[in-house]
Chain A
Amino acid sequence: METKKSKKSTKDSNGDGCWLLSGSMPLAFGCIAVFALLVRVIVSLNSYSGAGDAPKYGDYEAQRHWMEITLNTPAKKWYQNSTVNDLTYWGLDYPPLTAYQSYAHALFLHYFHPDSVALFTSRGHESPKGKLLMRWTVLSSDVLIFFAAAIYFVIVYYANRGKNKQQHMTWHLALILLGPCLILIDHGHFQYNCISLGLTIGAVAAILSKNELVACVLFSLALNHKQMSAYFAPAFFSHLFGKCLRHRNPLLRVLQLGLAVVGTFILIWWPYLYSVDTVKEVLSRLAPFERGIYEDYVANFWCTTSVLIKWKRLFPTPSLRLFSLSATLLGVLPSMVQQIKAPSDLGFLYALLNSSLSFYLFSFQVHEKSILLPLLPATLLALEEPLLFRWLTYFALLSMFPLLCRDRLILPYVVLLILFVLIYYIPGIRSTKKGESSPTGLKKLVMILVLLCSFFLHIVYVTLRPPQKYPFLFEAVIMLLSCSQFVTIAVYSNLKQWMLESSIWMEKEKKVQ
């Protein structure tokens, strides 16, 4: 019940073509989308984060609680501590667009199942019907925003490619829509990443199709849904800025784009703009600097190096804040410079990857789930960087394994990983993929070793109990392994971005010859 095939194959009739495309493109896209949705629906049958885990529960309860608050209090009070809105119990800590989305979904839940969003009485509400409705809100957001954006992106990205275009389009779309990480987090663990990531994809596609104003609006929306979207901001900024500089009238262009951004922000923040205090109030909810530099076992630089250097003990939080800020900026700088110097579509995608990886590795208060953000540009680059894409997907999954184990999502975890590999190797497309050179020699050996290690780790994590002295030993090992891979990828893709110009030149020269 899935799909892929190309018109090519009917001409070649060597049976090598991708079968999905044998009909027409819209049909192939329809098949992929319906299959992706089916997989999501099936995954959503599983349990969610914090199910039955009183008194705090998990992300599911957080989202439900926000619906309860937004439905029962006026917009101005959403971010204020009050007798009805206890901010210590899952207070709203995302920007206003998330709040509006919660409100819209709350209306939906209220219509069908008022108990699940009633003020006070619904705290910790868990019922099959409530779960079902909540799941449907994620599913519908996913289809309306993420699916639409992915299709938009694929169409734009392949608009000017002749050879094997349709095969690659369907293949790429399937990989975007069936990425295991996003499905597990949104439809298993329970979150709405599909909205902000979908808006980001939309913005990227808009940039690729030269609609920069649309891109600004979409990315501002993404920022206002989850502040984590700021991981991409340096790339967007530098790419657009670089382009503005090459515009006939740079100042006017900057002004136009700036207006689009500010206008979107004003619209979204309207209820809070009546005084500076309220704005500050909201902002302080969004940036929880009082928390530590890292939590749990996230595979970023600070957490990994804390095995050797006890950052939290050695330095006070303000200086750590400064460290992380400067480290992040340093990490982002090279790709920003490159994009300002020579903005290009491909370079922009690499810049997105580099800046989000830098944020993931070095910024303050990163969650395991934030690996979804670097994974997004890597997914968009699947055709150019097939190996990097697979590698990052796999280790992103691994880095979330402890989290997903807690949510009892091991079965979907394993199956979605297998499904991902199968989709990647959809018959008939492999041979035509570009830039696919299998690694050889030492590199191959190391990769195989790392892979074996990680398989072994999965099994050990599920079956063995850690020694009492080090209860988080396995989490730490998973974190070390994932982090080392993320750093390698970050270095590689930074280099790659800088070498882009020269390689483009070389290709052009080849063509001339």
Chain B
Amino acid sequence: MEEFAWFAGIATCVKLLLIPSYRSTDFEVHRNWLAITSSLPLSNWYSDETSPWTLDYPPLFSYFEKLLSIFAHLVDPKIVDLQKGLNYESDSVIYFQRISVIVSDLCLFYGVYRLSKTLEIKKRRILWILIIWSPSLIIVDHIHFQYNGFLLGILLISLSFLEEGKDLIGGFFFAVLLCFKHLFAVAAPVYFVYLLRHYCKGGFAKSIGRFVMMGIAVGMVFAIAFGPFLYTGQIQQVLHRMFPFGRGLCHAYWAPNFWVFYIILDKGLAFLLAKFGFNIQTPAASFTGGLVGDSSPFAVLPRVTPLATMLLVLLALSPCLFKAWRDPRPRMITRWVAYAYTCGFLFGWHVHEKASLHFMIPLAIVAIQSVEDAKHYFLLSIVSCYSLFPLLFEAKEYPIRVLLLLLHSLLLLSVFTSQFGKSSSKAVGEPLHRGKSDGKTLKGRKPSSHEMNSGTGFVVGWVSMIYLLGLLAIEVWGQFLQPYLLGSERLPFLPLMLMSIYCGIGMVYSWLWQLKWIIKC
């Protein structure tokens, strides 16, 4: 516990130091939500349009903002003023909002603490380093500004209950999470199948009883969240805000997912076909612009609709759902949930690069289980953290993001080599031996990792090495060589496009890798 406090303390210090750093428009978005929930009656929350940054998170998050706004009002009434507070940037609002994120991270800390309680000390530390010191969380929450830490904390709490076999509470917390941020719903099918098969079992009467229990628990959460809006007749407005399908297939910066390849393929085909004399019309619409009008943004390939992406996500999820149906094991649930978010990230509609957090954090729990997982996590976490770089585009934050990533990789290398040993041939004996002595002194989940230890140690293979060096090359090209060689005017989109494609390769690899594991287990 003391040691946990130490790790959390260091992270908090860094977060506090980052208070004066760059803030994205999300900062103003959340300030505006404070103002909306503070000064308007509940029935107007989802219809107010004073600022373009309208409220579009589910109701529990609005309640959360309402709670914050009470304190904000005490600190400085101007923060919660709907008109005068627009684009307010005084110290009071910056400190208040930044600190509210830092304090809400207590939820994340609790989640990690719960999860790591039963682990042996060394694995516990690794987990803390991976999650509490996650560079992606720092970049997104404490520089860019969002509240992901505490939402992911709820997810971790839910997962920790599921791993302990307390399905009802786990399901309850997942429902709470959905009512905070509906983007987490991608894992809902996994949860549904798992809870249905793992919790609602036993005799017919018992399983029906449990099903009803779960229904009541989840229903209650939704009733509390959406009830007041149903009562005031706002529910349609709320849903309309929550699901803005008017947006485009990709976010302004293409998240490194499957659709990047689709778009590139389309461009390539259009170019080739035009060469061969076909009459290809240049599409008028853009991928980011959304479904405005009827024109398709694709020249050759069929256009993608939200429904198609949804079906594709479900299709990708199906092996995992099948496994969960056949053999619902608590040990596997974290892996399945992480996989679900990976699918959502790869095939979803209008995916933000920030969504990679949704699977990076649960995967950290998986990463400490075996050396294979650790290797995979090492690669993926670097790729996903790197893909967040465009969020911080100002020069003064440049060293921060690079150093955060560098520190993260060094730490990973350090803790993984110590946990899993170094090389396969020579050190096998040593980690094995170590594993045994650990097993005696500590009654953790040692045997499983000990078995896996006996394979190979933690080494970064040459393929991953070349891939990571390629990442470096892309960074050097985008930051230094291109501005120098081509100037700032020519091909301004190229660095970002290269990043998307290159990181996309890593993401697809990770998806296939996870899929393989899920089928294998």
Q: List residues of chain A with CB under 8 Å of any chain B CB.
A: 1-3, 5, 10, 13-15, 19-20, 22-24, 27-28, 30-31, 34-35, 37-39, 41-43, 45-46, 128-129, 132, 136, 139, 411-412, 415-416, 418-419, 422, 425-427
Closest 9 interchain pairs by CB?
A23-B414, A22-B418, A15-B121, A1-B133, A38-B403, A27-B414, A427-B3, A419-B13, A34-B407
Question: In whole angstroms, how far apart are the Cα atoms of A162 and B228 in the complex?
Answer: 68
Most buried by A among B6, B11, B17: B17
Question: In whole angstroms, how far apart are the Cα atoms of A419 and B13 in the complex?
Answer: 6
- With known contacts A3-B414, A31-B411, A42–B11 Cβ distance under 8 A: no
Q: Is the CB of B21 within 8 A of A19?
A: no
Chain A residues with Cβ under 8 A from B400's Cβ?
Answer: 38, 41-42
Beyond A23-B414, A45-B20, A419-B13, 11 additional pairs, beta carbon < 8 A: A10-B418, A20-B414, A24-B417, A27-B414, A30-B410, A37-B399, A38-B403, A42-B14, A128-B396, A411-B20, A416-B17
Q: Is B19 an interface residue (CB 8 A)?
A: yes
Task: Give A263 Cβ to nearest chain B Cβ, in Å.
Answer: 38
B466-487 interface (Cβ within 8 A of A): none
Question: In whole angstroms, how far apart are the Cα atoms of A307 and B219 in the complex?
Answer: 73
Task: Give A155 Cβ to nearest chain B Cβ, in Å.
Answer: 19
CB-CB contacts of B4-28 with A at 8 A, as 1s and 0s? 0010011101101111110000000
Q: Is the CB of B403 within 8 A of A427?
A: no
Question: Which of B174-182, B276-284, B290-298, B436-444 lines the interface with chain A?
Answer: B436-444
Q: Is the CB of B407 within 8 A of A411?
A: no
B400-452 interface (Cβ within 8 A of A): 400, 403-404, 406-408, 410-411, 413-415, 417-419, 434, 437-438, 441-442
Question: In whole angstroms, how far apart are the Cα atoms of A145 and B122 in the complex?
Answer: 35
Q: Is B125 an interface residue (CB 8 A)?
A: yes
Question: In whole angstroms, how far apart are the Cα atoms of A38 and B403 in the complex?
Answer: 6
* Nearest B residue to A39, CB-CB: B17
Q: Is the CB of B14 within 8 A of A1?
A: yes
* Nearest A residue to B15, CB-CB: A415
Interface residues of chain B: helix, strand, loop or mixed (majority): helix
- With known contacts A34-B406, A41-B400, A1–B411 Cβ distance under 8 A: yes
Q: Is B111 an interface residue (CB 8 A)?
A: no
Q: Is the CB of A28 within 8 A of B407?
A: no
Q: Is B395 an interface residue (CB 8 A)?
A: yes
Q: Is the CB of A27 within 8 A of B438?
A: no
Question: In whole angstroms, how far apart are the Cα atoms of A327 and B395 in the complex?
Answer: 50
* Nearest A residue to B430, CB-CB: A10
Task: Give B474 Cβ to nearest chain A Cβ, in Å.
Answer: 21
Given A1, A20, A416, which contacts B404 in the complex, CB threshold below 8 Å? A1
Chain B residues with Cβ under 8 A from A39's Cβ?
Answer: 14, 17
Task: Give B416 Cβ to nearest chain A Cβ, in Å.
Answer: 8
Q: Is B2 an interface residue (CB 8 A)?
A: yes
- With known contacts A2-B10, A411-B19, A415-B16, A22–B414 Cβ distance under 8 A: yes
Q: Is the CB of B437 within 8 A of A13?
A: yes
Q: Is the CB of A27 within 8 A of B404?
A: no
Question: In whole angstroms, how far apart are the Cα atoms of A41 and B143 in the complex?
Answer: 14
Q: Is the CB of A1 within 8 A of B407?
A: yes
- With known contacts A1-B135, A1-B407, A28–B10 Cβ distance under 8 A: no
Question: In whole angstroms, how far apart are the Cα atoms of A56 and B412 in the complex?
Answer: 48
Given B13, B410, B442, which contacts A27 in the complex, CB threshold below 8 Å? B410
Given B20, B408, B413, B434, which contacts A1 in the complex, CB threshold below 8 Å? B408
Q: Is the CB of B21 within 8 A of A42?
A: yes
Task: Give B95 Cβ to nearest chain A Cβ, in Å.
Answer: 8
Given B121, B399, B414, which contacts A31 in the complex, CB threshold below 8 Å? B414
Question: In whole angstroms, how far apart are the Cα atoms of A14 and B407 in the complex?
Answer: 26
Task: Give A465 Cβ to nearest chain B Cβ, in Å.
Answer: 19
Chain A residues with Cβ under 8 A from B138's Cβ?
Answer: 1
How many A-B residue pairs lie within 8 Å, measured between CB atoms?
114
Question: In whole angstroms, how far apart are the Cα atoms of A412 and B13 in the complex?
Answer: 9
Task: Give A16 Cβ to nearest chain B Cβ, in Å.
Answer: 9
**Count of B residues near A, CB < 8 Å?**
43
Chain B residues with Cβ under 8 A from A28's Cβ?
Answer: 414
Q: Is the CB of B407 within 8 A of A427?
A: no
Q: Is the CB of A38 within 8 A of B122?
A: no
Q: Is the CB of B403 within 8 A of A132?
A: no
Question: In whole angstroms, how far apart are the Cα atoms of A513 and B14 in the complex?
Answer: 50
* Nearest A residue to B125, CB-CB: A19
Q: Is the CB of A419 within 8 A of B21?
A: no
Chain B residues with Cβ under 8 A from A132's Cβ?
Answer: 395-396
Chain A residues with Cβ under 8 A from B408's Cβ?
Answer: 1
Chain A residues with Cβ under 8 A from B125's Cβ?
Answer: 19
Q: Is the CB of A418 within 8 A of B415?
A: no
Q: Is the CB of B13 within 8 A of A22?
A: no
Q: Is the CB of A34 within 8 A of B14?
A: no
Most buried by B among A38, A129, A427: A38
Question: In whole angstroms, how far apart are the Cα atoms of A456 and B203 in the complex?
Answer: 67
B123-144 interface (Cβ within 8 A of A): 125, 129, 133, 135, 138
Question: In whole angstroms, how far apart are the Cα atoms of A411 and B21 in the complex?
Answer: 13
Q: Is the CB of B122 within 8 A of A22?
A: yes
* Nearest A residue to B121, CB-CB: A15
Task: Give A66 Cβ to nearest chain B Cβ, in Å.
Answer: 23
Chain B residues with Cβ under 8 A from A23's Cβ?
Answer: 413-415, 417-418
Listed A/B pairs (28) with beta-carbon separation below 8 Å: A1-B129, A1-B133, A1-B135, A1-B407, A2-B10, A3-B410, A3-B411, A13-B122, A13-B437, A13-B441, A14-B441, A19-B125, A19-B415, A22-B122, A23-B414, A31-B407, A34-B410, A35-B407, A37-B403, A38-B403, A38-B404, A39-B17, A42-B14, A42-B18, A42-B21, A45-B20, A411-B19, A427-B3
Chain A residues with Cβ under 8 A from B415's Cβ?
Answer: 19, 22-23
Q: Is the CB of A34 within 8 A of B17?
A: no
Chain B residues with Cβ under 8 A from A427's Cβ?
Answer: 2-3, 6
Task: Give B440 Cβ to nearest chain A Cβ, in Å.
Answer: 9
* Nearest A residue to B396, CB-CB: A132
Q: Is the CB of B9 within 8 A of A42?
A: no
Task: Give A116 Cβ to nearest chain B Cβ, in Å.
Answer: 14
Chain B residues with Cβ under 8 A from A10's Cβ?
Answer: 418, 434
Chain A residues with Cβ under 8 A from B442's Cβ?
Answer: 13
CB-CB contacts of B335-360 with A at 8 A, as 1s and 0s? 00000000000000000000000000
* Nearest B residue to A2, CB-CB: B10
Q: Is the CB of A27 within 8 A of B403?
A: no
Question: In whole angstroms, how far apart are the Cα atoms of A43 and B396 in the complex?
Answer: 11
Question: In whole angstroms, how far apart are the Cα atoms of A425 and B437 in the complex?
Answer: 28
